[in-house]
């Protein structure tokens, strides 16, 4: 089988769109950040992450295995994954700046 840039030509079944990957990765990074601020032990953090990760996949109406296979597929195409992460970083930066510019009465604890 011929490959370009090391990427498999065969797309996994139920491949998530790049837009869906961006949306999920934004939520994953927010979840990781929130758990990190709790300063729990590594085991407790992992247990908590796994619990909330299930809710995250339910929110996006996908199965973890579909996400993992899609992530691995996009990871093989480095340029595609770079574009996905550029969008994730841009979105997270925008969210952070928006939270910083909200008037004090409108800020939430999240």
Q: Domain spans of the chain?
A: 18-96
Count of other CB atoms within 10 angstroms of residue 108: 6
* pLDDT reading at 1 higher than 60: no
CA atoms 66, 72, 77, 82: torsion sign: positive
- Model-level pTM? 0.77
Model confidence over 18-63: pLDDT tens digits? 999 999 999 999 999 999 989 889 999 999 999 999 999 999 999 9
Model confidence over 68-105: pLDDT tens digits? 999 999 999 889 999 999 999 999 999 988 888 766 65
């Amino acid at each position: 089988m011929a490959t370009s840039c090391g990427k498999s030509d065969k797309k996994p079944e139920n491949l998530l769109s790049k837009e869906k990957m961006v949306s999920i990765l934004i939520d994953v990074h927010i979840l990781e950040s929130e758990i990190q601020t709790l300063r729990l032990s590594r085991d407790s953090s992992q247990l908590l992450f796994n619990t909330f990760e299930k809710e995250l996949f339910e929110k996006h109406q996908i199965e973890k295995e579909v996400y993992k296979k899609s992530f691995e597929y996009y990871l093989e195409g480095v340029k595609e994954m770079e574009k996905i992460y550029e969008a994730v970083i841009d979105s997270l930066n925008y969210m952070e700046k928006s939270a910083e510019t909200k008037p004090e009465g409108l800020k939430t604890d999240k």
